[in-house]
Amino acid sequence: MTAILPEHLTQLEVELKRLQRRKSSYTVVAIVITVAIFMVGVDMANSANATPFSQGFRKIFDFPIDMFKLSWELGFVKWANRVVEFLPDLILTLNMAVLSTFLGFVFAVVLACFASQNIMRSTVIVTFTRRMLDLFRSFPEIVIALIFLYLMGKSLLPAVIAITIHTTGALGKLFSEAIENIDTKPLEGLQSVGGSWVSRIRFGVFPQVMPIFFSYAILRLEINVRASTILGFFGAGGIGQALSNVIQWRDGGRVTAIFVLLVATIIALDYLSDWIRSRMIGRRT
């Protein structure tokens, strides 16, 4: 026996089905448009390039396969020597990333306090600080670094400045959102006993958000290691510059050695992040 729905529920069901059909039609149209744009792009690329896209796509794995073949021909001992050879370059890149992350972390913590509405009552300061953070993260590190490389020459300093600026903007946004989600009762208690604004931040805000801050900072450190490597391609030094050189030489042993070092570094940073979070929140690993 079929239940008879009230008239308003029947109309609601009809409206929901109509919206579902409209959503499905929009999805189909979006897929068709995406495929059409892709096909037009492939056709334009084929007409502009000497090598068709289909032929180039089949060769996409030729370079990595050649690199691994050259590494295999070296043997493990000689290949391991290549890994050790680039450890100083990796340390240089890590120093660049760690320094940039530390400076960006400090600046972001300070600016996040001024960008959070629940602890900063001045709308003007909050708005100004948020727009400043927006500006800092609006441009990729490579764009900022190229400007400073042009002004200061090829060295580590332009890369450190560029990564610090972008890190400040990115972390400042995340930190301010974390602060705005804290429990404000400790702040009210500190204010009731005459605690200053700095005291309320130190004893009421930081204990709640520091595990989140350090988690974001370690994640950002992973990103900055990759950014430091990329900036090395443009003359900032470190393992990125070494990778650029060995790729041009098609030295497979050194290319794969650098790749292994970078992957191992990111994995180690991931374990470090989990260990720090566990220690700060009192969880046993």
Same domain, 106 and 220: yes
Q: What is the rounded CA–CA span in Å between residue 72 and residue 49?
A: 34
Same domain, 154 and 22: no
Report yes or no on 69 lying in a domain.
no
Same domain, 275 and 201: yes
Q: Residue 1's pLDDT is what? A: 44
Same domain, 87 and 207: yes
Same domain, 134 and 267: yes
Q: What is the pLDDT of residues 216-256, one digit of tens each?
A: 898 898 889 888 888 888 877 888 888 888 888 888 888 88
Q: What is the rounded CA–CA span in Å between residue 165 and residue 236?
A: 16
Report yes or no on 187 lying in a domain.
yes
Q: What is the pLDDT of residues 161-177, one digit of tens each?
A: 999 999 999 999 999 99
Report yes or no on 50 lying in a domain.
no
| Closest to 109 measured CA to CA, from 224, 227, 206 | 206
Same domain, 132 and 221: yes
Domain of 31 in residue numbering reads as 8-42
Q: What is the pLDDT of residues 83-98, one digit of tens each?
A: 888 999 999 999 999 9
Number of structural domains in the chain: 2
Q: What is the rounded CA–CA span in Å between residue 86 and residue 10?
A: 70
Higher-pLDDT residue of 205 and 16 is: 205
Torsion angle of the four alpha carbons 65, 68, 70, 71, in this order, in degrees rounded to the nearest 10: 180
Band of the pLDDT at 18, cuts 50, 70, 90? confident
Q: What is the pLDDT of residues 40-72, one digit of tens each?
A: 877 776 676 656 666 666 777 777 788 888 888
Query: Considering the entire predicted model, what is its pTM?
Result: 0.75
Indicate the burial class of 206 (C-beta count within 10 angstroms; 0-12, 13-18, 19 or more). middle
Contact in structure between 238 and 93 (CB atoms under 8 Å): yes
Higher-pLDDT residue of 45 and 189 is: 189
Same domain, 27 and 89: no
Report yes or no on 57 lying in a domain.
no
Q: Find all residues with CB under 8 Å of 23, minimum gap 6, and list them.
A: none
Report yes or no on 223 lying in a domain.
yes
Q: What is the pLDDT of residues 115-153, one digit of tens each?
A: 999 888 889 999 999 999 999 999 888 888 888 888 887
Same domain, 121 and 226: yes
Q: For the chain, what percentages of helix, strand and coil (3-state, to nearest 5) are there?
A: 85, 0, 15
Residue 191: how many CA atoms within 13 Å on its side-chain side? 9
